[in-house]
Amino acid sequence: MKNLSRIAEEVTGSPIRKMFNIADRMTDVISFTVGEPDFVTPRNIMDAAVRSLERGETHYTLNAGLLRARQAIARRVQQELSLSPDPEKEIMVTAGGMEALMLGMMVLLDPGDEVIISDPHWSNYPRQVQMCGGVPRFVAVREEEGFVLDPREVRRAITEKTKIILLNSPSNPTGAVMDRDTTREIARLAVQHDLFVISDEVYHHFLYDGAVFTSISSFEGMQERTLVVDSLSKTYAMTGWRVGWAVGPEALVRNMVKYQENVIGCVNSQAQYAAIEALEGSQDALHRMLRTYTDRRKTILDGIARIADLSCVPPKGAFYCFVNIRATGMSSEEFAMELLKETGVVTVPGSGFGCAGEGFIRLSYATSEENITRGLERIRRFVESRRS
Ligand code: PLP
């Protein structure tokens, strides 16, 4: 039998699968791994989807998505980013942020083109780049600098093959939020070296301690070279609906829509009606959820501060803590694996997010206060047992 494609053979699976397989066979497990809200989608959004079914809106939509959904996105983008994209040409509805990222890379990358990505990073990025025949080029971000990219290092990573700088602020896994000056510097580099930027903004509602989100698309000369990726998954607790969007220059979006036509045709139509309600309906549930994340963040940070040998730079965004475990002397994989086997607490080793994630574990606080408190108590006992 002939081989699978070279690319398919080379793309690796998730390095954290092993942990989940072990956790699956255990009882009394407390998980800090979930990258999704534990809330159910707000009622008004679910009702809008049900009403669309009852009206018989069960057909294909346009490849770019329902025009009403794109108009709702355009209004949202106008309010939040001060951009005025044309909903008919510069916006498309995608199956989550993930599909927007993938289609963007498929349209932008030729084999061998390089994409600059921070290290640590959301682990799907390099695999998506590889699936498009591209080459990820990592730029390390450091705890001392709040895990924010250093524009000088980004500049050093640029070669004649660089095509895209991929940004993710607020970041998964570190919770870092890129400040305005750094964002402006990176925009300058993109213009100077004629690069595209993909700006993954799926966590931009999750901000703490007065942090301010700046979209790189808002800087001079950036609108024509930025693909903004956003999603309802995290913001409205809608991960299972698979609905998000991409906003970008017309030629890029037009070609992404062409690919959409050949990949999924269109996003599930009920999810699109739900999206309209999420964007245009009451925002009360969103504000309630955001307040809950703020409380949970405080609980988890206070708990970590009470554990000797662990520390954490307070994350300014998203719902993750990237906890420094170096003082325990264990590698991040050792720490996570032994913690799991001995206490039933599941965490993600930082090394799963890139080499620079070694020495850290990621804790998601998209889980109940009770789980956070019980889980941290187990972590505290585990770390203390290693000290004695
Ligand atoms: N970007 C980041 C940084 C994420 O963490 C995720 C999901 O975990 C996504 C994009 C994709 O989310 P979705 O496809 O559900 O919108």
**Residue 159 domain flag:** yes
> pLDDT, tens digit, for every residue of 263-313?
999 999 999 999 999 999 999 999 999 999 999 999 999 999 999 999 999
Q: Which of 101, 231, 243 to mutate to test the pocket of ligand 1 (most atoms within 8 A of CB)?
A: 231
> By percentage, how much of the chain surpasses pLDDT 90?
91
Give yes or no for residue 219 having a pLDDT over 90. Answer: yes
Q: Which of 169, 178, 234, 245 to mutate to test the pocket of ligand 1 (most atoms within 8 A of CB)?
A: 234
In terms of domains, do 195 and 261 share one?
yes
Domain end (from 221, 247, 280)? 280
pLDDT value at position 35?
83
> pLDDT, tens digit, for every residue of 359-379?
999 999 999 999 999 999 999
Q: How far is the CA of 260 from the centre of ligand 1 (A)?
A: 18
Give yes or no for residue 16 having a pLDDT over 90. Answer: no
In terms of domains, do 317 and 232 share one?
no
Ligand 1 atom with the smallest distance to the CA of 168 is 3
Q: Residue 39 and residue 239: Cα distance in Å, rounded?
A: 10
Residue 346's domain is classified under what CATH number? 3.90.1150.10
Q: Which of 124, 125, 201, 353 to mutate to test the pocket of ligand 1 (most atoms within 8 A of CB)?
A: 124
In the predicted model, what is the mean pLDDT of residues 189-199? Answer: 98
**Residue 1 domain flag:** no
In terms of domains, do 264 and 318 share one?
no
Q: How far is the CA of 98 from the centre of ligand 1 (A)?
A: 6
Cα 265 → chain centroid: 24
Q: How far is the CA of 189 from the centre of ligand 1 (A)?
A: 26
Q: What is the mean pLDDT of the chain?
A: 95
Which residues contact residue 106 at a Cβ distance below 8 angstroms, ignoring those fewer than 6 apart? 132, 256, 259
**Residue 71 domain flag:** yes
Q: Residue 295 and residue 69: Cα distance in Å, rounded?
A: 32
Identify the domain containing residue 210 by its residue range. Answer: 43-280
pLDDT value at position 15?
64
pLDDT value at position 82?
85
Q: Residue 76 and residue 79: Cα distance in Å, rounded?
A: 5
pLDDT value at position 352?
93
Name the DSSP class of 353. Answer: G
Q: How far is the CA of 202 from the centre of ligand 1 (A)?
A: 6
pLDDT value at position 294?
97
Give yes or no for residue 156 having a pLDDT over 90. Answer: yes
**Residue 213 domain flag:** yes
In terms of domains, do 220 and 298 share one?
no
In terms of domains, do 26 and 103 share one?
no
Q: Residue 166 and residue 178: Cα distance in Å, rounded?
A: 13
Ligand 1 atom with the smallest distance to the CA of 36 is 8
Q: Is the dihedral of CA 113, 115, 119, 123 positive or negative?
A: negative
Q: What are phi and psi of 263, to 5 degrees?
A: -110, -65
In the predicted model, what is the mean pLDDT of residues 220-238? Answer: 96
Which residues contact residue 26 at a Cβ distance below 8 angstroms, ignoring those fewer than 6 apart? 340, 344
In terms of domains, do 11 and 96 share one?
no
In terms of domains, do 209 and 338 share one?
no
Q: How far is the CA of 342 from the centre of ligand 1 (A)?
A: 31
> By percentage, how much of the chain surpasses pLDDT 70?
99
Residue 202's domain is classified under what CATH number? 3.40.640.10
Name the DSSP class of 221. Answer: T
In terms of domains, do 209 and 341 share one?
no
In terms of domains, do 32 and 74 share one?
no
Give yes or no for residue 98 having a pLDDT over 70. Answer: yes
CB atoms within 10 A of CB 218: 17
pLDDT value at position 387?
80
> pLDDT, tens digit, for every residue of 119-140?
999 999 999 999 999 999 999 9
Domain end (from 263, 280, 297)? 280
In terms of domains, do 268 and 334 share one?
no
Ligand 1 atom with the smallest distance to the CA of 99 is 14
**Residue 216 domain flag:** yes
> pLDDT, tens digit, for every residue of 22-54?
888 888 899 998 888 889 999 999 999 999 999
Ligand 1 contacts (CB < 6 A) are: 35, 96-98, 122, 168, 172, 200, 202, 231, 233, 239, 244
In terms of domains, do 203 and 66 share one?
yes
Number of structural domains in the chain: 2
Q: What are phi and psi of 173, to 5 degrees?
A: -105, 0
pLDDT value at position 14?
73
> pLDDT, tens digit, for every residue of 333-350?
999 999 999 999 999 999
In terms of domains, do 213 and 109 share one?
yes
Domain end (from 258, 280, 302)? 280
